[in-house]
Structure 1
Amino acid sequence: MKKNIFFLLTLTLFLCTSVYSQDKNYYYEQISKLAGEKKFERGVELCYEAIKKFPDELNYHLNLTYFLRETKRYEAALLQIEEVYKKYPDNKDVQTNLNWSLQNFAWFLNSQNKKSECLKLFERAYKLKPDDEGNYLGYGYFLKESALYDKANEILKSGMAKFPNSTDIKNTYIDSLLKQGWDEFNAGAFTKARDLFFTAYSLNKEHEDAILAYGSVLKELKEFQKSIELLEYGCAKFQNNQWYKPNLISAYNAYAEYYKSKNDFETALKIYKEALTKFSSDIWLNAYHSLNAILFSYAYDNRFKEIFDIIDDFEKLFDKKYLIMHTRGVFTYHSGDKKKGIAIVYQAYDLMIKERPEYLNELIIDFPLKGFVLTSGGNSEPEAITHAGFHKYCFDFMGADKYGSTLKTNVTGPGNNEDYYGFGMPIYSPVDGVVESLADDFDDIPPSFEPILQDGNHIAIKDANGYHCLFHHNMKGSSVVKVGDVVKKGDLLVRLGNSGFTTVPHLHFAVYSQDWIATMPVKFTEYSIIKGDKIENVKNRTPLRMELIKK
């Protein structure tokens, strides 16, 4: 009887084990089949069913993690495998699945722009599997995206050494170097930016952004020839990249301006000629302004033959012929043929207005002086080159007494600067804007009957619409602002002086177009016109020549 009982127990145990094994095999077969058929949702359901029946069967848990990832339930997959990892921390398959789940969830969160969470996930993955290619890439990428560039570069450089054929790691490393480089560039740390850009460029000398970055920073470090060489190569190779051409033009400008600042005008002009030949329609504005500045330097030494030779040479390079025509007129005037010079600049102005009628748009601003003021120079003075052609809407304002006299009592002749009511008169900003250029160190010259061509003090303010308010002949050392200062209407800027191309103390004032080519017609918001004992209050008017006004 005891033997029969033992046999029955043995038979029962065998049958249960057999059924148990068959159930497991069934689940494995079905899981494998569903994976092959990519029926991942059904796979999730079956794995939950299998785990409920066999909770200690590790592979069911691993398969569940797989199916959850394939159904894009990345967070659930991670939570699932984290629980398994607590029980089997040393199991290689568990570690691998945890690593994949961390990676998948991180990239999923990246699509939601949750960079900080992504970084934490990849930091865990990297610690778990420090030799995994995906972890080098992901951890380095999110370090870079978090602006932790030094650590990112360290990880990515190591990853590139371990996986030299990984273009993803290499490109991410280059991108990290470039991003850090631009941060240094924008902070003015050009040498450090150059080193970072050079490393990126060395990794791939055909990389579109690396060539641009390296060429751009070399310009800032005055390595102009190498900068232009790189940017010209990139400009030709990446013709759809909108940044190459302006940076190349900027490099040519900086190259020419560098030599201009060294008074090597011949080299500066040679560079501009080359640039105009290549980019006439894009670089003409800078070339035009620099050409005029250089020619004025020649004019100070009466080198007019050279001036006209240069004008002849550049004339064929300018698409906009009225520009070089105006330059010819200005220096024809200064060479002594004043009548012809005036005629040429007006001819140039008329041609320009046909192409650019927007230069006739009237502007309304505040008046820049307070007290009694005589408009000694108004718009379109036919005998004054500084009020003709492109400069026709310039004003000359002089301080005066209530009768319109600019000289103090009992003073005859040109006198001294202090003999004029206007000398030292405060000048105020007529607009809200930013101080964009300034000269404050030129001496005030004694009053005279004939001006001498020379530099003087000035302030230029750019308003919110891009127009430029220019104040000339200011008193030496009187500026209370500096370049970059933000000013408001009515802020004190400087004092009226007698520096530069001038005869007596006065303010030469104009508003120039956004491109600094032409003066704009201006009206002033409000002031009073003084006619003997009569006072007429006016608004939005333009002062007439020799009109006494008060603000």
Structure 2
Amino acid sequence: MLLRSLIFFFLIASHGFAESISEHWSKIEKKTKAEDWEGAKTPVADAISEYPNERDFRITEAWVWRSSGNPEESLKRIRKAISQWQKDELLKEQLSYSLCSVFDSLYRKAGYKREQLPKEALSIAEEAYQAKDTEWSTNIYGISLRMQKRFKESVQHYQKGIKKYPNAKYYPEELAYSYLEPADEELKKENPKLAIELANKAILLLPENEWANLILAYSWQKLNPEKAIPYFEKAAKLNPTNEHTIPNMGYSYQLLIEYWIKNKENTKITKNFPIIKNYSELPAKQGMSFLRAWVPIADATEEFESLVEFLKKKIIKYPDDIELKILCGSVLNKLNMKQRRSDSSLADSTQRESNRYLREGMELFEKQNPNRLSFKGIQLPLNGKIIIAAAFDGGGTHSGFEKYSYDFLHVDESHSTLRPNTKGTENSDYYTFGESIYAIEGGVVLDTKDGFSDNVVPGEISFGPGNDLQILHDNGLISHYAHIKKGSIRVKKGQRVNRGEKIAEVGNSGMSYGPHLHFTVVTKDWISTYYEWERLKIKTPDQIIFGSQPLEKNWVIEK
């Protein structure tokens, strides 16, 4: 009896009286209700130490560690508990929560950029969903499906989730993104019809979503620009700070104006012109995109005066806008051409004003953009005896952003551009009409236009569009060949061409007084840049020289 009493006394002295389960819960709840997660760890650990087979303490342990911001430790501890109770559904639910918490932690560390999530996040999401189908695990597993581009599965997954968790407010949004992400991919792959089909499903779920409206806008822009405009307008209202939306809406109007002019739908032009003019008031690129829609209207009607007046007023408001100066100079140049039909003195004055705007704009641009890409040693785009009809910074279409441009024509031994016994009243009177044009360097055809008729009467200016093509070269520069003869382009968009390969023939299409080749080299912003030729034999008014330097007006090249 004495021995048992001594043993009991020793146990009490060593360990104290064991606390009841309810007493442990009381201590734990005091900390958790105060959201003192760090403070809750000690009473939870004490409870598990005294009652290692009490499952609910293990569940609470996982919750406390998750809430303290350490989901990895929470996961470690709940896995240990599951090894003891392998089929316990509540523990599986906690496992799912801990896995979801780890996924969210990884997502947060990746700055919510899916492409930066480690691959382990995918398996974590799948395990969380398999452990227990909860509102949380359903969502992160759906996200992981989208990350793997398993979009059809993601759609089915969220549709099922919406039925099971009808109060999950963010599920419709996630389902919408399961449509929008593949829609965006289809748009990039030039599949606008499929992009529209998918985006329409998304916009039913998220009518106020900017991305959904933009995908529909860009997709319709490729198929029917008129249908694109309402979506651009909606996107602009949803996010006025997106600097690309309004300019792209302006581009849709440009496409529409070209189409309406071609099909003589003047009523639609008249109806939409006030909208175009109103948006043209906007500063910088936003207004510029609508001004570019105004220009073809002015070209078709030859109403250049009102556009010039508008541009001059806007330049006073935005004196440092380079594109505005260049555009004003360009429209003034067209006005000069129109005036030249009846009043050459007035036309000369307008031409000087045009050149001033063009040169001021390009001078500002080149000061702000020194050391631009340039070409050296390129091949002349024509063969034979060639005269330089217009050279670098020659005014009009050879100044401003087209400063580094040439006009080329073929001539005979006496440097005449006309065939014997002709008067220059027909295109065929000119040696150059129908002559071959060659690629100045190897590259890929960027774009072509080949459906516009040549001007019938040389000497009579036309302000309509013409045939041209561009080649993107390996150094990133683009060669541009204009006024091409209708039906003569021998290459297609995307085709690889070699240096010296025939690509088209000289024509008289577009804004042209007579048959010639207008040639320039531009950077990807479509602004001309400096270039030099291969070594050429050049006949100046005074002598014959050999060189690759910039050519001057009236020099003759023998190639």
What's the TM-score bracket when you normalise by the shorter of the two chains?
0.7 to 0.9
Structure 1 distance, partners of 2:257, 2:330, is 19
* Alignment match of 1:326 (pick from 330, 333, 355): 333
- Structure 2 CA distance, aligned partners of 1:156 and 1:459? 48
The aligned counterpart of 2:557 is 549
Provide the rounded CA distance (Å) in 2 between the counterparts of 1:422 and 1:339: 31
Quote the Cα distance in structure 2 between the aligned partners of 1:357 and 1:533: 31
Q: What is the alpha-carbon distance in structure 2 between the residues aligned to residue 372 and residue 287 of structure 1?
A: 43
Deviation, structure 1 residue 31: 4.3
The separation in 2 between residues aligned to 1:37 and 1:380, in whole angstroms, is: 78
Aligned partner of 2:547 among 528, 538, 541 = 538
Work out the CA distance in 2 between the residues paired with 1:389 and 1:37.
71
Q: Which residue of 2 aligns with 1:373?
A: 385
Instruction: Tell me by how many angstroms 1:276 deviates.
Output: 1.9
Code of the residue aligned with 2:242 in structure 1: it is N
CA contact (8 A) 2:179 2:202 kept: yes
2:56 aligned residue: 59
Give the superposition deviation at 1:438: 2.4
Q: Could you report, residue by residue, the CA deviation over 1:188-243 in whole angstroms, capped at 9, with x for unpaired residues?
A: 33233223323332224333433444444444442625x43343344345323334
1:99/1:125 contact within 8 Å kept: yes
Do 2:253 and 2:290's aligned partners in 1 also have CA atoms closer than 8 Å? no
Which amino acid is 1:62 matched to?
I
Question: Counterpart of 2:277?
Answer: 276
Match of 2:355 among 349, 358, 366: 349
Identity of aligned residues (%): 19
Question: How has the CA–CA distance of structure 1 residues 207 and 59 changed in structure 2, closer, same or farther, with 3 Å as cutoff?
Answer: same
Q: Within 2, Cα distance between the matches of 1:244 and 1:440? A: 30
> In 1, Cα distance between the equivalents of 2:210 and 2:453?
51
- In the TM superposition, residue 51 of structure 1 has moved relative to its aligned partner by 4.7
- Counterparts of 1:144-293 in structure 2, within 5 Å, are 144-222=146-224, 224=226, 227-268=228-269, 270-280=271-281, 281=283, 282=285, 285=288, 293=296
- What is the match of residue 508 of structure 1? 518
Q: 2:491 aligns with which of 471, 474, 481?
A: 481
CA separation of 1:241/1:259 partners in 2, compared to 1, >3 Å: closer, same or farther? same
Structure 1 residue identity aligned to 2:145: L
Cα distance 1:166–1:504, how it changes in 2: closer, same or farther (>3 A)?
closer
* Conserved? CA contact 2:449–2:468, under 8 Å: yes
User: Where does residue 124 of structure 1 map in the other structure?
Assistant: 127
Q: How far is the alpha carbon of 1:107 from its aligned partner?
A: 1.3
2:481 paired residue among 471, 475, 486: 471
Q: Any idea what SS the aligned residue of 1:481 has? A: coil
Pairwise CA distance, 1:152 = 1.9
1:22 maps to what in 2? 18
The one-letter amino acid paired with 1:256 is I
Q: Give the stretch that moved more between structures: 25-34 or 112-121.
A: 25-34
TM-score by length of 1: 0.74
5+ residue gaps, structure 2 = 111-116, 315-323
What letter corresponds to residue 556 of structure 2 in structure 1? L
Corresponding residue of 1:133 = 135
**What is the TM-score of this pair, normalised by structure 2?**
0.73
2:107 to 105, 110, 117: 110
Distance 1:533 1:256 in 2: 49
5+ long unaligned stretches in structure 1:
299-306
1:302 — aligned with what?
none
Tell me the equivalent position of 1:395.
406
Bigger shift: 161-170 or 477-486? 477-486
Query: Which has the larger Rg?
Result: 1
CA distance in 1, matches of 2:455, 2:36: 92
**Which residue of structure 1 aligns with residue 317 of structure 2?**
none
Cα separation, partners in 2 of 1:467 and 1:345, compared to 1, 3 Å = farther
Question: CA, structure 1 residues 462+271, in 2 after alignment: closer, same or farther (shift >3 Å)?
Answer: farther
Equivalents in 2 of 1:45, 1:30: separation in Å?
A: 10
Correspondence for 2:320: none
1:242 and 1:407 map into 2 onto residues whose CA distance is 49
Query: What is the distance in 1 between the residues matched to 2:130 and 2:379?
Result: 69
Q: Distance in 1 between matches of 2:20 and 2:504?
A: 96
Cα separation, partners in 2 of 1:147 and 1:40, compared to 1, 3 Å: same
Alignment-mate amino acid for residue 408 of structure 2? F
Contact 2:158 2:171 (8 Å CA) reproduced = yes
> In structure 1, the residue corresponding to 2:549 is in which secondary structure?
strand
C-alpha distance after superposition, 1:449-484 (max 9, x if no partner)? 867858764323467999864423546655443334
Partners of 1:387 and 1:394 within 8 A in 2: yes
Deviation at 1:150, TM superposition (A): 1.9
> 2: distance between equivalents of 1:279 and 1:234?
19
Amino acid at match of 1:69: R
- Distance verdict in 2 for CA 1:151–1:364, change over 3 Å: closer
**Bigger shift: 437-446 or 247-256?**
437-446
Match of 2:79 among 82, 94, 98: 82
Task: State the one-letter code of the partner of 1:150.
Answer: K
Aligned residues, how many? 521
TM-aligned CA distance change 1:157 to 1:258, over 3 Å = farther
**Residue 288 to residue 345, structure 1, CA distance change in 2 (3 Å):** farther
Structure 1 pair 65–491 and aligned structure 2 pair: CA distance change class (3 A): farther
